Amino acid sequence: MQKITIAIDGYSSCGKSTLAKALAHKLNYSYIDTGAMYRAVTVYALRNGIIDENNNINVEKLIASLDNIEVTFVFNPQTHISDTYLNNENVEREIRTMQVSSIVSKVSSIKEVREKMVALQRKMGKSKGVILDGRDIGTNVFPKAELKLFMTADGDVRAHRRLTEYSSKGQYFTLEEVKHSLLERDTEDINRKENPLIKADDAIILDNSDISREEQLEFVLKLIADLQFISRQEQSQH
């Protein structure tokens, strides 16, 4: 089957990465978690005093530090997925904390940060057979992706899922705190100037509030099969 580029965008905690990983596994595609890249930059900024205790970012200092920040993915044979590395250190756990979640949107709204990450994403994803998830993949990073999905889900459902994820990692919050944090992030992602979160015109909306992971995967695999069928038909007509 011909390999394609799959762009998955959408709101926070909609299960984008769950779907992306399942697809990557099923199709033997590579997966690029672009949110993890902005999170790794945020970890660098927190560690180096570029973000203070009140979540104020020293934007100039961060921009000046960008050359010292290297974000890579390294395949983890135990989990069968790639871990995020910041300057050769595995930061997969650290990037998923509430502290990072509470400030990552602001970091990702800085033009120079985006330019660096988008260039890296285009380089990492240039061969077909790749799935990227994020906020601006279908609109900006790979606007010619053959399949674009825009994921959404009910706010309470999303908050519950994220709460479960946090508590499984020993981080405890109330449902309200988690919901507030993710809705705040959505608002920032939608309203920022640089490549905001917006549905690409040709993206297919996937609302997974009431469907299981398996049903969701089946739905997308069917979309891919249909795409391949249409493309084969078009080729045979020429």
- Partners of 57 in the beta sheet? 51
3-state SS, residue 197: coil
| Contact positions with ligand DC (CB under 6 A) in 138-167 | none
**Residue closer to ligand DC (CB basis): 92 or 136:** 136
Determine which residue in the list 6, 7, 12, 83 makes contact with ligand DC, applying CB under 6 A. 12
CB contact at 8 A, 205 and 211 = no
- Strand stretches in 77-159, DSSP E: 81-86, 89-90, 130-134, 147-152
Q: With CB under 6 A as the contact rule, which of the stretches 85-93, 134-142, 207-215, 223-231 interacts with ligand DC?
A: 134-142
Number of residues that bind ligand DC (CB under 6 A): 15
* Least distance CB 2 / ligand DC (angstroms): 25
Report if residue 136 touches ligand DC, rule: CB under 6 A: yes
Applying CB under 6 A, does 94 fall inside the site for ligand DC? no
CB of 29 to ligand DC, least distance (A): 18
92 contacts ligand DC (rule: CB under 6 A):
no
Q: Classify residue 13 by its DSSP letter.
A: T
Q: How far is the CB of 41 from ligand DC (least distance, A)?
A: 9
| Contacts with ligand DC, 100-129, as mask; x by CB under 6 A | ----xx--x---------------------
CB 117 within 8 A of CB 41: yes
Q: Is 135 in the site for ligand DC (CB under 6 A)?
A: yes
φ, ψ (nearest 5 deg) of residue 75: -65, 130
In the complex, the smallest distance separating the C-beta of residue 34 from ligand DC, rounded to whole angstroms, is 4
Residue 61, CA atoms < 13 Å, CB-side half-sphere: 13
Interactions with ligand DC, residue window 20-49 (CB under 6 A): 34-36, 38-39
- Nearest to ligand DC of 137, 203 (CB atom): 137
Check binding of 5 to ligand DC (CB under 6 A). Answer: no
Q: Which of residues 163-192 bind ligand DC (CB under 6 A)?
A: 185, 189
Facing residues of 133 across strands? 8, 33
| Sign for the pseudo-dihedral over CA of 75, 81, 87, 91 | negative
How far is the C-alpha of 115 from the C-alpha of 67, rounded, in Å?
Answer: 12
Please give the C-alpha separations between residue 4 and each of 142, 213, 217, in angstroms, as whole numbers. Answer: 11, 22, 17
9 bridge partner residues: 134, 150
Residues lying near ligand DC in the complex (CB under 6 A) are found at 12, 34-36, 38-39, 104-105, 108, 134-137, 185, 189
